[in-house]
């Protein structure tokens, strides 16, 4: 009878074990599409059986085991950080590229060509009033085209500043989610598949935004720091970031009145912009500061658009002012065609304009040697100047130099787009490998569910049979004598 009761105990324990396994399997199925969830498995352990020693055998279930692989998680996070960088670069440079007409049929490229053509037409009829007026009109159009491009790019810089601020806000929000996880971990130690899923979902989201690393502490909390060591979350404390647009002061500015750059600050107000190297925030900062800075200028460089505008104005003005308005004795010297803010080298493109005081009579086609159309010819020649000739920039004519600016933006976009496409495959591969280890397979869970149901039914049948045997034995026992 004692062995029979022991067998009933074994069967009962088996029922509990298989019920635990069924519950875990059902939980896996329910959370198969939950972001950050890692499948749980129940370790069913066979118990030793030796009736002589009182070991009745059977099966027991240990606590569910989390299948999450930290290496696989970190691989996905790192790949996602790089993808975030390339995606942000691709999107931002695509917008910049739209401001440059590579066909040369509109915008600044077309305006420059028209200006040099007006100089050429003027050189054939240096005294013609219509030709002179065409020069003034083309010069005004060119100055306004430079202003317009500068304004558009500056507006885009402002849009990127806004997006940088929004991204920083998203990072700070995720910090609070991780802080909540750590707080719960301290209050309720132990594994919790649900809260772990929320944590890793938050970390996946953070990966798309910024480069970071994590360290799991002995108390179960997770510390999150930027790759350089700047903390974002330590235990139950968050360290929110902030952003601003200002003129960089390190190193010492060469152009103190330059356009601003985008900056990210840590919780103590220290500039950590250089530490943000990937994720969406890294991509936005790269385009904002490196790509746009090279065109609009910053504390360390004049900017290619300002260089072009100043070279155009200075070269044209120098040629015109070196000559005279006619070949007559005592003829007046020529006037400058353009004016701009001479106090700020990084503001030339924004301020260049047609000299508001110039008239057609003040254009000087005669050069210093007395050639009646010498200056006009010199101006027309600027379109195809090369090498060290007057009006070139780095050996390029002004038309070629502008084309190189547009080409550089196009190359930035092409490279970023290609990188984005390639990195998407890297992320997909890393995610697949992670899911192979810790993802929920509906097919496998269905197999498990069927197997555990049969095991449960078998244990229940054994328990039912044992119960019937006990009842039979009890009924066979004689009644107690009175």
Q: What is the pLDDT of residues 107-125, one digit of tens each?
A: 999 999 999 999 999 999 9
CA distances from 213 to 70, 209, 227, 391, 475 (A): 12, 13, 6, 51, 70
Question: What local confidence, expressed as pLDDT, does residue 126 receive?
Answer: 95
Question: What local confidence, expressed as pLDDT, does residue 263 receive?
Answer: 98
Question: What local confidence, expressed as pLDDT, does residue 388 receive?
Answer: 93
CA distances from 21 to 15, 56, 326, 443, 454 (A): 10, 21, 101, 16, 12
pLDDT in tens, 47-83: 666 555 555 566 665 666 666 788 999 999 999 999 9
Q: How many CA atoms lie within 13 A of 237 on its CB side?
A: 5
Partners of 224 in the β-ladder: 214, 233
Question: What local confidence, expressed as pLDDT, does residue 374 receive?
Answer: 96
Domain boundaries in the chain?
A: 2-67+439-476, 72-302+399-431
Question: Which residues of the chain, if any, have pLDDT below 50?
Answer: 1
Question: What local confidence, expressed as pLDDT, does residue 191 receive?
Answer: 79
Separation of CA 395 from chain center: 36
- Please state, in angstroms and rounded to a whole number, the distance separating the CA atoms of residues 21 and 43: 8
């Amino acid at each position: 009878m004692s062995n029979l009761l022991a067998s009933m105990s074994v069967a009962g324990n088996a029922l509990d074990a298989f019920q635990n396994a069924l519950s875990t399997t059902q939980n896996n199925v329910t959370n198969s599409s939950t972001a950050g969830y890692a499948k749980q498995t129940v370790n069913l352990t066979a118990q030793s059986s030796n009736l002589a020693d009182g070991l009745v055998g059977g099966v027991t279930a240990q606590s569910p085991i989390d299948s999450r692989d930290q290496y696989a998680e970190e691989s996905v996070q790192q790949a996602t950080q790089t993808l975030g960088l390339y995606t942000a670069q691709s999107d931002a440079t695509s917008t910049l590229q739209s401001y440059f007409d590579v066909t040369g049929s509109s915008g600044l490229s077309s305006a420059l060509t028209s200006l040099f053509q007006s100089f050429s037409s003027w050189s054939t009829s240096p005294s013609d009033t219509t030709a002179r007026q065409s020069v003034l009109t083309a010069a005004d159009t060119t100055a306004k085209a430079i202003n317009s491009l500068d304004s558009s790019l500056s507006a885009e810089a402002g849009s990127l500043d806004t997006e940088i601020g929004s991204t920083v806000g998203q990072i700070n929000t995720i910090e609070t989610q991780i802080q909540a996880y750590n707080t719960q971990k301290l209050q309720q130690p132990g594994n919790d598949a649900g809260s772990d899923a929320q944590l890793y979902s938050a970390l996946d989201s953070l990966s798309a935004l910024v480069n970071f690393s994590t360290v799991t502490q002995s108390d179960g909390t997770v510390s999150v720091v930027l790759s350089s060591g700047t903390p974002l979350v330590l235990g139950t404390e968050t360290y929110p970031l902030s952003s601003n647009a200002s003129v960089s002061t390190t190193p010492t500015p060469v152009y103190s009145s330059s356009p601003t750059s985008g900056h990210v600050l840590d919780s103590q107000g220290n500039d950590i912009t250089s530490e943000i190297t990937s994720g969406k925030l890294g991509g936005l900062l790269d385009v904002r500061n490196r790509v746009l800075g090279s065109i609009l200028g910053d504390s360390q460089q004049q900017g290619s658009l300002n260089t072009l505008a100043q070279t155009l104005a200075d070269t044209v003005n120098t040629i015109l002012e070196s000559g005279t308005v006619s070949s007559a004795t005592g003829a007046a010297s020529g006037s400058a065609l353009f004016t701009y803010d001479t106090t700020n080298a990084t503001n030339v493109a924004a301020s260049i304009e047609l000299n508001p005081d110039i008239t057609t009579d003040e254009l000087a086609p005669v050069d210093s040697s007395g050639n009646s159309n010498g200056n006009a010819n010199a101006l027309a020649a600027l379109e195809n100047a090369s090498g060290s000739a007057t009006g070139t920039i780095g050996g390029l004519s002004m038309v070629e130099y502008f084309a190189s600016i547009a080409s550089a933006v196009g190359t930035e976009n092409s490279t970023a787009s290609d990188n984005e496409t390639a990195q998407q495959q890297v992320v997909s591969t890393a995610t697949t490998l992670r899911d192979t280890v810790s993802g929920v397979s509906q097919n496998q869970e269905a197999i498990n569910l069927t197997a555990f149901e049969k095991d449960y039914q078998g244990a229940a049948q054994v328990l039912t049979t044992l119960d019937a045997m006990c009842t039979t034995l009890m009924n066979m026992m004689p009644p107690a004598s009175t």
